[in-house]
Every structure is written in C-alpha cells, then in structure tokens.
Chains A and B, each alone.
Chain A
Amino acid sequence: MDAPARVLVADDEEDIRHLVALAVGTAGCTVVAAVADGAQALTVARAERPDLVVLDVSMPEATGLEVCLALRADPATADCQVLLLSAGASPDDVARGLATGADAYLPKPFTVAGLVRQVQLLTAEHRA
C-alpha cells in the first residue's frame, strides 16, 4: 500500500490550522507540518516537497497568494497541489486566487466535509 499523501498546512489562526489538520487526517493524508505564516510555509514546502499545500490567503510575512506564486516559480515545488482557503468569497477573490496557479479555492467558512472532499480530490493522483 502506498504511503499517504503528505500535506503542508499554513494558516495564522491556530483554531483553523487544527481544524484543517483534522480534516486532512480524515481525508487519509499525513500532515507534514502546520505553520503560522507565509515565509515558514515556503521554507517547509521547499524542504519537505509535500504533495499538497493548504494555504490561507491572509497570512503574515507572505500571503497565501505570494507563497503560491513562489511555489509555482520554483521547479522544486512547481508540481505540488495548492489549495487556497480565504475569507474572501467574492467571484473576484476566487479569480484572483486561481490566477496565481492554485488548483482549488475554498472560501471560509467551509464545511469540514467539503474540505475533506477537496483534499481527497487534490491528492487522488498520489493515491492512484
């Protein structure tokens, strides 16, 4: 049996980080790290090369959008899946998020079941 997909979680809200980590676990994946800002997210992503990075858009040091752009620009991390979470729920917010090269965008508040589905969907290739 293949090793579970490895997921990096980045959100400056501890409660949300924990909730996302729980959802990732429910989706059958492993959390490689749960960090609180964009700079840490980029450092860990480059070191760990996770299969999926779950990024909050609004974070200190570097926003989720900036982190996503940096991941896509770096050949070492360009292929990882990126899921953006954000309190911005307007069509413009979603379009801006996806324009950075993210694979999916989930507005807050999200349902745990919905987040689990998204994580499974984005790690399906790994599981296959």
Chain B
Amino acid sequence: MTATADPVARATGPAHRTGVAGLGAAAAAAAGVLALVVRPALPLVLLAGAVVLLAVADLTWRLHRQQTAARVLEAQRLDLFSQRQSTADELEVATRMLRARAETMTSVIDAVTEQSIIGTDRDGLVRVWNPGAERMLGLPRADVVRTRSIIDFHAPEELTPEELDAGGGTPFATLVQVAREQGSDVRDWTYLTADGRRLTVSVAITPRTDDDGEQTGWNFVGTDMTEVRATERLKDQFVSLISHELRTPLSSILGYLELVLDDPEQPLTDDQRQYLGTVERNAQRLLRLVGDLLFTAQVDAGRFTLQPAEVDLADIVRSAEESARVTATARGVAMSVDVPDGGLVVSGDALRLGQACDNLVSNAVKFTPAGGRVALRLQTAWRDADGALVDVPAAGATPVALLSVSDTGVGIPNSEQGRLFTSFFRASTARRNAVPGVGLGLTITKAITTAHGGTLDVVSAEGRGTTFTLALPLPA
C-alpha cells in the first residue's frame, strides 16, 4: 500500500506547491503593474481578474493533482489486475497439476490388475476398489465403493473372538491391529470372492493419509497366493514322501550290509569287503543327499530351528578334519589344523555347526587336486562398526569366532561367486572337473551360519584356490 500512497504524496509535494505559489505571485505582480498604469477606477476589475487567475491556477493545480491520482489509481488497478491474473494462472496450473497427479494415481491403480488395491475409511468402508480387486473378488467398483466394508470379504473365522478382544472389539480393529501398532503389516488372509471361492491372499496393510498427514483410512494391497501356497504344501508333502520312501530302503540296504560286513561267523574275502564297502559308501552318499534335500526344504519353509548350547568350535573343526582326512590322504591333499589350545566356545547348535564345518572342509578337499593343501584355522577376531572383520579390537568392535577354510584348489570364477549360495548352483569349475555334488552344501552352510547370527564369505581366484570365512558372534 505504501507504493500506491507514495506517488500521491509526491504529486502533492513541495515542488508542486511551489509551482502553484508561483502562479499566485505572478497574478499578484500583474495586478500590481496594472495598478501602476491604470487609473484608480479600474482596481476592482483588476482585482477580479487576479482572483480569476488565482482560481484558474488553483483549478489547474487541482486538475493536475486529480490526473496524477487517477494515473496512480490506474497503475494500481493494472497492477492488481495483473496480480489477480497471475494468481488465477498459478491456481489453474496448480489445479491442472493436482488433476494430473490424481489421474496418474488413478491410472496407476487402475493399471494394476494382478493385485487388489482396496482403500477404506477409518472404519473399513471401501473407498478405493481397483480393477485388480474387481478381478480377484468378482465385484465391480460401483457395487462396493461406499456401500461395503472390507470385512465383508474376509473369512470371519480368522477374526476370532479372542483376537477381537485384543483388537479392540470389532473385526476391522482386529484386521488392522498389527498395522496400527507397527505402521504396516504383511500376512496371509483368506478372502471370500463373490462366487464363494476362498483365496489365500498376502495382504499389505498400511495407513492412508491426506495431504496434511492426517490418517483418513487404510490401504490393503493384496496378492493372490492361493496357487503358490498350494504348490508349497505340495512340495512339503513331496519332500516328506521322498524322505520316507528313500530313507526306508536305505535302512534296509545299510542294515543288511552291516549284518554281512560284521558277521564273524562268515568272514568276507577282501574283494567282497571292498565291493560291499563301495555299496555302503554310496548308500551313505544317498542318505546325505536325502538329508540335504530335507534340510533345504525346511530352510525354504522357514521351519529350520536350532537347539542352542555351548559349543567348542575347536572340537568341531578337529572333528571335521578327522572326517575328511581319509579322503584327503587318498587324494594326495595335505591338511593342517590351527585352533586355539583352550578351545573357542560359541552359543549354537552343535549338530548344525558340525554340518556347516564338514561341508566347508569336504568341499575344500573335493576341489583340491593332488599335491594341494587345505588349511583350517580358528581364531578370535573382531567385527568393527562397519561390519568389517579385523584382527585387532577397536572401539565399538564386537568379538567373533573366525573359521577360515583355505584350499589351493580349482577356484571359482569371479562372475559365479555371487551365486555360490543359491540352491543347486554348481560352479563351472566344478562341472569341468567332474567334482561330484548337487549344489546344496553351501546353501545349507550359509543358512546355518545366518541362523546363528554369523556371516559366510568367500575369496577365490580361479586356478589358485578358495578361502571360505565363517564368522560367528562371541559373547562380548
């Protein structure tokens, strides 16, 4: 407003006042001159003329001032108009952007046909129902939005009375209870479709908020897992069946072999003993494979449990070396073991840690040609704040038991090292050198290590050898 007032103030400033006074003075001077040259009867006429002049001058000044004010006002009007236009333009742009954003959101949601996206208000009344939800649940948007609750599509038995109590008294409160407490929730729920089918749906529940961050409801993004879960169940049944069907004949093979091999009344010839030894070795190999398959299935299904106790890793390392020694000697591979004299105790499952250690050591022997070396070393080390393993304790570092198994074997190409821990993956060097195996040992070892809160790393150079490093947390 100062800007609009100033011009007026300037227009009525001293300079203008000086101009008007100048006019008045000029009129007075003219009257004076006339008074000198005209006879005394004329003064009144002259005076009147002077007054007229003064009035004209005053009117001129007023007119000038009004014109100035008018120009200022016009300028202000134009300025305001321009501002209004600019605001209107900005508003239009913002509206267009908002509309575009909403359209984008809608088009994205509408483009999702394999997932249901359902938005509700805070009480569960459906507000958003995308084509994926139409497809999955068999109802068009118009039949659902603002008329149905999402609870109508959930199997009621999953919102049991006990859970109702915990959830605050309503099925919907139970449905969103975990998401309310933890910010989000992903789990399987049973959806009921319009034609009466029951679908197993993995639903991600998150709060829905407006532009001010206020919660206005909930989002439910669902993926139909019915077939996936059925396949998983089938796989479990298959693994269980295979386990039984393979273990049972293996029981017969190994049991009767034992009777024949250990019968003092009917001793075998050396050849017979060697042949039956081969049979037994291969039966044991089959048994290990069955065990590995079963264990991998358990890991995949998340049913892998540990039975923790205090375990001396030094004993486990020595035992692994002992198990592999016969094969190593037969292959011409030298082995060395370096463990702390006093042992190194961790909290873990002795059976599983033994399995992990056996896998690393037997792998090292398998992949090392005659004349090579396999070295086992167990020591205390530290994991620093960045997760790196260091030999010397530093501030913030935590102690770990570090087992390294190094060999001078065929090595693993760099490009394949990232897939080493994937089930059934076999390195090209293993295939080229016809090293037996199915590619489960490292998957299992990694799973066991991870379940113990540890890490398993590999450093390898093709043709030069490999070192696996297994680190397990030690009590601080």
Seen from chain A, the residues whose Cβ lies within 8 Å of a Cβ on chain B are 13, 15-16, 19, 22, 58, 87-92, 108-113
Contacts and interface: CB of A to CB of B under 8 A. Distances in A.
B151 interface: no
Nearest to A111: B258
B259 A91 contact: no
Given A111-B258, A112-B258, A16 B248 contact: yes
Contacts of A113: 258, 262
- The B interface, classified by DSSP as helix, strand, loop or mixed, is helix
Contacts of A91: 305, 307
A108 B247 contact: yes
Interface of B: 243-244, 247-256, 258-259, 262, 287, 291, 294, 298, 303, 305, 307
5 contacts: A19-B252, A90-B294, A109-B255, A111-B255, A112-B259
Given A91-B305, A92-B305, A111-B258, A13 B252 contact: yes
B237 to A, nearest CB: 13
A82 B196 CA distance: 48
Nearest to A58: B244
B248 A87 contact: yes
B259 A22 contact: yes
Nearest to B243: A87
Contacts of A110: 251, 255
A109 B247 contact: yes
A98 to B, nearest CB: 14
Nearest to B250: A109
Contacts of A22: 259
Contacts of A111: 254-255, 258
Contacts of A112: 255, 258-259, 262
Nearest to B295: A90
Contact of A19 (B256, B287, B294): B256
A108 B287 CA distance: 10
Contacts of B248: 13, 16, 87, 108
Given A15-B256, A19-B251, A108-B247, 18 more contacts: A15-B252, A16-B251, A16-B252, A16-B255, A19-B252, A19-B256, A58-B244, A87-B244, A87-B247, A88-B244, A91-B305, A91-B307, A108-B250, A109-B250, A109-B255, A109-B287, A111-B255, A112-B262
Top 4 A-B residue pairs of the complex, sorted by shortest distance between their CB atoms: A109-B251, A87-B247, A15-B252, A87-B244
A27 B303 CA distance: 37
A15 B252 CA distance: 6
Nearest to A26: B259
Nearest to B284: A109
A97 to B, nearest CB: 14
B161 to A, nearest CB: 28
Nearest to B291: A89
Nearest to A115: B255
B383 to A, nearest CB: 30
A118 B291 CA distance: 23
A58 B307 CA distance: 26
A87 B307 CA distance: 20
A16 B305 CA distance: 30
A4 to B, nearest CB: 20
A87 B325 CA distance: 30
Contacts of A15: 249, 252, 256
A89 B295 CA distance: 10
A59 to B, nearest CB: 11
A16 B259 CA distance: 13
A77 B290 CA distance: 36
